[in-house]
Amino acid sequence: MFAFTTRDDVEDFTVFDVSDSVRARGWQVPAYTMPQNLEHLAVLRIVVRNGMSRDMADLLLDDIRRAVAHLEKHGRPTTAEEAHVAYHH
């Protein structure tokens, strides 16, 4: 199992955004806040199952890198609720 977070200087997105981005590529990499006395820390968790190949690990890392690069460029995705989306026809 691996748990990790973003660098301290990352402000435009969170581990929850990374989790959502890689989920869109088919990966289950949940994000969690830590327990009592560490609630300010949120991490991504990867559980490596027996039989996971090096090729599969490389694909996962590539998708995480791709997600982070996209989020660094565009920031946290804006939800429809945040954007107050209204359709006028």
pLDDT tens track for 2-55 = 999 999 999 999 999 999 999 999 999 999 999 999 999 999 999 999 999 999
Using the predicted structure, report yes or no on whether residue 80 has a pLDDT greater than 60: no
> And the tokens for 65?
């890198």
- Domains detected in the chain: 2-83 (3.90.1150.160)
Nearest-Å Rg of the Cα atoms of the chain is 15
Give the Cα separation of 87 and 84 in Å (integer).
Answer: 10
